[in-house]
Amino acid sequence: MMERAMEQLNVQLNRLTRSLRRARTVELPEDNETAVYTLMPMVMADQHRSVSELLLNSKFDVNYAFGRVKRSLLHIAANCGSVECLVLLLKRGANPNYQDISGCTPLHLAARNGQKKCMGKLLEYNADVNICNNEGLTAIHWLAVNGRTELLHDLVQHVSNVDVEDAMGQTALHVACQNGHKTTVLCLLDSGADINRPNVSGATPLYFACSHGQRDTAQILLSRGAKYLADKNGITPLDLCVQGGYGETCEILIQHHSRLFQTLIQMTQNDEIKENMLRQVLEHVSQQSDSHYQRILTSLAEVATTNGHKLLSLSSSYEAQMKSLLRIVRIFCHVFRLGPSTPNNGNDMGYNGNKTPRSQVFKPLELLWHSLDEWLVLISTELDRNRKNPSSSSSSSEIASLLLKQREVDHSGSTPKLPSLLDPQIVMETEVYADGEDVISMTANRLSAVIQAFYMCCSCQMPQGMTSPRFIEFVCNHDNVLKCFVTRNPKIIFNHFHFLLECPELMSRFMHIIKGQPFKDRCEWFYEHLLAGQPDSDMVHRPVNENDILLIHRDSIFRSSCEMVSKSTNEKLKQGIAVRFHGEEGMGQGVVREWFDILSNEIINPDYALFTQSADGTTFQPNSNSSVNPDHLNYFRFAGQILGLALYHRQLVNIYFTRSFYKHILGIPVNYQDVSSIDPEYAKNLQWILDNDISDLGLELTFSVETDVFGAMEEVPLKPGGTSILVTQGNKAEYVQLVTELRMTRAIQPQINAFLQGFHTFIPPSLIQLFDEYELELLLSGMPEIDVQDWCRNTEYTSGYDPQEPVIQWFWEVVKSLTQEERVLLLQFVTGSSRVPHGGFAYLMGGSGLQKFTVAAVPYTSNLLPTSSTCINMLKLPEYPSQEILRDRLLVALHCGSYGYTMA
Amino acid sequence: MSETYDFLFKFLVIGSAGTGKSCLLHQFIENKFKQDSNHTIGVEFGSRVVNVGGKTVKLQIWDTAGQERFRSVTRSYYRGAAGALLVYDITSRETYNALTNWLTDARTLASPNIVIILCGNKKDLDADREVTFLEASRFAQENELMFLETSALTGENVEEGFLKCARTILNKIDSGELDPERMGSGIQYGDASLRQLRQPRGTTTQNKQQCNC
């Protein structure tokens, strides 16, 4: 009894010391569940001695499955690479083919994690390599996914079918190709894997390699004779490469199947393919060699030519063909600009120098340009014919047929095959149109799109910013036809004549037509072109780089803004502005708006002496004496930058400039009326000289003026030798113009130049000239609010009108119905300013002091338009017989007459 | 998915106004007569994939206006054409007499290898015939043209005209007389030439040509 007790005590003591020494239990708990969690961490750490010790004498079931996924300890060992424990477990009878809840065997796990030794041991213990898990994956799939070639090498000898498919019909080769494991692919192929095996959707190994742009893998497959097969939806490996923009893989496909080259080129016609991806691919292929470059471009030129000709077929869809042509030409020009991979003849950009192979690529397009030329000549002939014989109806039947064709085209999408029913209504209508005129209107859009393509091709051979002489010559040759196009359909300018914005020499020809277009359309065009080439800054909200934030001190806003802006780059400022005020948290659009608002107020702060107020105190212009501030020109440049930047980002500023300064920004010459904004009395005197015969007045004026230069009177000639040229009745207009320029421009020329230098860093001069001075004010400073009631209350009537007069009643009803923009136009029309003075209409200023808005009666004759005298804020309103006519005439005057004054 | 073909040929249809060029094209593409046909403005366009000698060929056909006022525009389409249908009206001697001019145009402006087939259209109006079959075929022989009399109304010989022209071009390619790779040949490879490689030889020869010329 004692001995037994002693013995037991010894055992317990022994256990206790062992346990204490190892800092863990030395005896397995009775139940499997608890035991397995005791063993698991030891297995994971491959503490095989301890495991072995614990398992000794225990009744633990080595195949006991536990946890959520029901794995055995053998799974754990295989997964963690605990090879000693693995062997121990196997020796104790663990089942090597035991599957967990997802059907994975220990071999799967060892394969997945690349546990080479474990895998070897499992195989020794007859683990079955062909078992699939629930998704149908076998051990070789796992090895192939992760590219464990060495292990695969060992395993594949035991595999009965190397092409074993998973649930999706995917073999190990498929997954290896998809992931681009070159050596794994080679190993599988060497082991007899089927190189053309399709999965359930018909995708082959090559298809998988292409879908992920695995260039080297595709190369291996193709050199081993892989076939080029589409999947069940007809999607080809090439389609996949283009979709992903995988240029290198495309290149390899083309190397092996040269016909795919044409297919690739033809893809440019497919508008479902992303243009940037396709461009990327073509770009890459073109850079392989000079001959690739030549071939790509020549083929693109051919496709573009065919497309252009289709576009010129009147029964084709204008939209689709136009888009297709412009897309191809865009890609063409992009690839051309890159140049060949070896730029040995890169310098010859001249269009006429067709000697070098590089410009040879344009040759196919010559066919299209030739057709374009011939079409324009034809239209020109038609125009002449119409002019001579306006009632000719030679082509009436053609028009009828065309309209029918167009109808068919339009309807073919929706209705299945519309039979060409002759709708008598249509024939009637078309008989009415009926001559060469309609040939013109039907081709104008199409020809204009081809002209756009022509321009793109011409300019991609020129250095940036230069217009090709060939294109200028083209426009000059077809001047009458092009003008005829845009006069009939001004939309053409905005849709296709983008070249105008890049070529000032051509713009001037079309300016009067463009200026006649609605302000809104020109605005859209302006911003579309201004932001072209910028990444979509509005679309993507880029996280702001901490270094790009403009940190502004509120108490020295002008100086700190100037400092921050000059530190940043123009490119960054174009991409976006982020402002934070020193010591404040706020960021975002609101802060940016506030910054522009406060800063613009600071720019006109009299303390800086940069700008002076106009006579009526509402507008500003550069101060001719700003040089008291030695740094003034830098500040003007900065002011120009801020205004330009505000316009660029559609932010409004809180400054209104004088009419003449807006003209300076636009590069429009000033006239004597502009003088009234700074010196109304003097402007009246100039007006008087112009209005009266000065021959016998004995004014003894010469072409010179006396100015006060720091207290000393100095005679400044208006033109060379001006001091001795008398002003006469004959040359007084020139005198007035020169003296105006002296007062308005020459006195502040350095300031204007510095301002424009800053302004033009963000706004190109060619773009801003789309607008007149009134519109520029709207763009920069926004639309003022106009209170019609206040306006009405502060209006006076003369020459027979009184508030009860029906014409006056109609007038105010019309004003109420006008849009805010039209009201501003009316205000501008009558007062020359778009703003209501501070305090309302009661404070409206005229040439000499307060001058209320006045409506004066004028006898009505048919079609007579309202006129105005801006210096006395007077609207001369004819006594219209009805409200409709009043409204109509008023709107005509507002929309046509808001610029280009003639003195009433 | 784009249609697959072995070759693409550019064709022209030329000839005086009112000879039925657009109707021939319409008949070839739509298989029916175009009732309300009017003068073509400029150049119109149509295409169809045909089977010739076991090869699929896409014909891209440019149908030109016959009216003099469009002549300079239509001429600009000649270059880069592989084949042409030169059309006259058998009921109008005037259109027949103009053939020389059309032919000169085509021979000088198009590629020297252009294959031209002469089509005497409106065969159905035999009662009003002004040009005999014999004299036209003599003209064709002298000028090394193929010749057919066609009717866009009944469809007689319309398909044959186009196919004959296409077959001649194919033969010239096979004999090496025409090089499709040459720029301005009016011929392009399609990507079907690829598919041909992996298809067993037998399958494509099954649909043998139905045409007997």
Number of helical (H) and strand (E) elements in chain A, helices listed first? 44, 12
d(CA A878, CA A518): 26
Tens-place pLDDT, residues A41-52: 999 999 988 888
pLDDT over 70 (residue A542): no
d(CA A683, CA A702): 18
More confident residue, A839 or B36: B36
Output the domain CATH number for residue A743.
3.90.1750.10
Tokens read off for A749: 């020329």
pLDDT over 80 (residue A539): no
Q: What is the mean pLDDT of residues B18-31?
A: 94
Of A257-271, A620-634, A834-848, B80-94, the least confident: A834-848
Same domain, residue pair A802 and A887: yes
Q: Using an 8 Å Cβ cutoff, are A320 and A270 in contact?
A: no
Q: What is the mean pLDDT of residues A118-141?
A: 91
Tokens read off for A688: 């008087």
Task: Choose from A210-219, A380-389, A550-559 the range with maximum mean pLDDT.
Answer: A210-219
Residue B204: the pLDDT is 39
Q: What is the DSSP string of A831-860?
A: HS-S-PPTT-GGG-EETTEE--EEEEEE--
DSSP 8-class letter at A866 = P
pLDDT over 90 (residue A6): no
End-to-end CA gap in chain A: 138
Q: What is the mean pLDDT of residues A365-369?
A: 93
Q: What is the mean pLDDT of residues A293-307?
A: 92
Q: What is the mean pLDDT of residues A532-555?
A: 67
Output the domain CATH number for residue A820.
3.30.2410.10
CB–CB of A270 and B184 under 8 A?
Answer: no
- The share of chain A scoring above pLDDT 90, in percent, equals 32
CB–CB of A398 and B41 under 8 A?
Answer: yes
**Boundary residue ending a domain (A782, A813, A847):** A782
Tens-place pLDDT, residues A220-239: 999 999 999 999 998 999 99
Q: How confident is the model at residue A839 (pLDDT cuts 50, 70, 90)?
A: low
Q: Using an 8 Å Cβ cutoff, are A60 and A68 in contact?
A: no
| Portion 288-327 of A in contact with B at CB < 8 A | 298, 302, 305-306, 309-310, 312-316
* Residue A368, in any domain of the structure: yes
Task: Confirm or reject contact between B73 and chain A (CB < 8 A).
Answer: yes
Number of domains in chain A: 3
d(CA A551, CA A556): 11
Tens-place pLDDT, residues A275-291: 889 999 999 999 988 88
Task: Confirm or reject contact between B1 and chain A (CB < 8 A).
Answer: yes
The dihedral through the CA atoms of A671, A677, A679, A684 has a sign that is: positive
Residue A85: the pLDDT is 92
* Residue A7, in any domain of the structure: no
Distances (CA, A) of A697 to A302, A446, A630, A727, A736: 76, 64, 45, 11, 17
Residue B148: the pLDDT is 95
Tokens read off for A770: 């789309």
Round the CA-based radius of gyration of chain B to a whole number and report it.
17
Residues A33-37: contacts with CB under 8 Å, at least 24 apart: A33/A64, A33/A66, A35/A60, A35/A64, A36/A60, A36/A64, A36/A66, A36/A73, A37/A66
Of A164-168, A203-207, B185-189, the least confident: B185-189
| Portion 71-90 of A in contact with B at CB < 8 A | none
- The share of chain A scoring above pLDDT 70, in percent, equals 88
Which residue from B41, B73, B79 is facing A402, i.e. has the nearest CB?
A: B41
Contacts of A227 in chain B (CB under 8 A): 198
Task: Confirm or reject contact between B184 and chain A (CB < 8 A).
Answer: yes
Same domain, residue pair A686 and A821: no
Question: Left if phi > 0, otherwise alpha if psi is -120 to 50, otherwise beta: which for B22?
Answer: alpha
Q: How confident is the model at residue A422 (pLDDT cuts 50, 70, 90)?
A: very low
d(CA A621, CA A612): 6
More confident residue, A546 or B154: B154
Q: Where are the beta strands (DSSP E) in B90-145?
A: 115-121
| Portion 264-283 of A in contact with B at CB < 8 A | 266, 270
* Residue A208, in any domain of the structure: no
Give the best residue of B4, B41, B62, B63 to mutate against chain A (max A CB count within 10 A): B41
Pick the residue from chain A with its C-alpha nearest to B39. Answer: A398
User: What angle, 0 to 180 degrees and rounded to 10, lies between the N-to-C axes of helices A820-831 and A883-897?
Assistant: 70
- The residue segments making up the domain with residue A818 are 784-899
Question: Left if phi > 0, otherwise alpha if psi is -120 to 50, otherwise beta: which for A339?
Answer: left
Distances (CA, A) of B208 to A791, A845, B191: 88, 93, 21
Q: How many residues does chain A have?
A: 904
- The share of chain B scoring above pLDDT 70, in percent, equals 87
Q: What is the mean pLDDT of residues A592-607?
A: 85
Contacts of B29 in chain A (CB under 8 A): none
Give the best residue of A305, A312, A446 to mutate against chain B (max B CB count within 10 A): A312
A305 closest CA partner among A273, A332, A276, A337: A332
Tens-place pLDDT, residues A685-714: 888 888 888 887 777 888 888 876 667 777
CB–CB of A259 and B38 under 8 A?
Answer: no
CATH code that applies to domain B5-194 = 3.40.50.300
* Residue A241, in any domain of the structure: no
Mean pLDDT of all residues in chain A? 83
Q: What is the mean pLDDT of residues A874-887?
A: 89
Task: Confirm or reject contact between A412 and chain B (CB < 8 A).
Answer: no
d(CA B195, CA B197): 5
The DSSP H or E segment spanning A750 is: helix A749-759
How would you class A136 by CB atoms within 10 Å of its CB: exposed for 0-12, middle for 13-18, buried for 19 or more?
A: middle
* Residue A691, in any domain of the structure: yes
d(CA B45, CA A774): 49
How would you class A140 by CB atoms within 10 Å of its CB: exposed for 0-12, middle for 13-18, buried for 19 or more?
A: buried
d(CA B211, CA B163): 8
Same domain, residue pair A864 and A819: yes
d(CA B141, CA B193): 35
Same domain, residue pair A728 and A864: no
Of A276-280, A636-640, A872-876, B18-22, the least confident: A872-876
**Boundary residue ending a domain (A717, A748, A782):** A782
Kindly give the residue spans of alpha helices, DSSP state H, lying in A389-535: 396-412, 424-433, 436-459, 469-477, 479-488, 491-496, 499-502, 504-515, 519-531
Chain-centroid distance, C-alpha A571: 15
How would you class A13 by CB atoms within 10 Å of its CB: exposed for 0-12, middle for 13-18, buried for 19 or more?
A: exposed
* Residue A629, in any domain of the structure: yes
The bridge status of strand A874-878 relative to strand A853-858 is parallel
Asked if A871 is an active-site residue, the reply is yes
Distance (Å) from the alpha carbon of A262 to chain B's nearest alpha carbon: 7
Q: Using an 8 Å Cβ cutoff, are A602 and A654 in contact?
A: no
Task: Confirm or reject contact between B75 and chain A (CB < 8 A).
Answer: yes
pLDDT over 90 (residue B18): yes
Tokens read off for A502: 């890049």
Domain boundary assignment for chain B: 5-194
d(CA A39, CA A45): 10
Residue A903: the pLDDT is 37
Round the CA-based radius of gyration of chain A to a whole number and report it.
42
Residue A436: the pLDDT is 64
Residue A424: the pLDDT is 41
**Boundary residue ending a domain (A782, A815, A835):** A782
Contacts of A397 in chain B (CB under 8 A): 38-39
More confident residue, A514 or A478: A478
Same domain, residue pair A558 and A588: yes
Same domain, residue pair A599 and A725: yes
Same domain, residue pair A638 and A774: yes
Residue A158: the pLDDT is 86
Same domain, residue pair A761 and A803: no
Of A264-278, A279-293, A419-433, the least confident: A419-433
Contacts of B60 in chain A (CB under 8 A): 306
Tokens read off for A505: 């020499």
Question: Amino acid identity of A511?
Answer: M
Q: What is the mean pLDDT of residues B149-177?
A: 94
Same domain, residue pair A737 and A768: yes
Q: Using an 8 Å Cβ cutoff, are A199 and A189 in contact?
A: no
Task: Confirm or reject contact between A257 and chain B (CB < 8 A).
Answer: yes
Pick the residue from chain B with its C-alpha nearest to A238. Answer: B191
Q: Could you identify the residue written with the tokens 């050596």?
A: A183
Tokens read off for A321: 């063909």
Q: How many residues does chain B have?
A: 213
Q: What are phi and psi of A556, to 5 degrees?
A: -130, 55
Same domain, residue pair A768 and A809: no
Task: Confirm or reject contact between B2 and chain A (CB < 8 A).
Answer: yes
A837 closest CA partner among A904, A891, A785, A801: A785
Q: Which residues contact A677 (CB under 8 A, 6 or more apart)?
A: A614, A615, A616, A619, A621, A658, A659, A660
Q: Using an 8 Å Cβ cutoff, are A301 and A461 in contact?
A: no
Tokens read off for A207: 């298809």
Question: Amino acid identity of A292?
Answer: H
CA atoms in the 13 A half-sphere facing the CB of A591: 17
Q: Using an 8 Å Cβ cutoff, are A151 and A114 in contact?
A: yes
Q: Using an 8 Å Cβ cutoff, are A121 and A86 in contact?
A: yes
Same domain, residue pair A894 and A790: yes
Residue A762: the pLDDT is 92
Distance (Å) from the alpha carbon of B177 to chain A's nearest alpha carbon: 21
Contacts of B39 in chain A (CB under 8 A): 395, 397-398, 401
Residue A410: the pLDDT is 45
Contacts of A313 in chain B (CB under 8 A): 42-45
d(CA A689, CA A738): 14
Same domain, residue pair A489 and A623: no
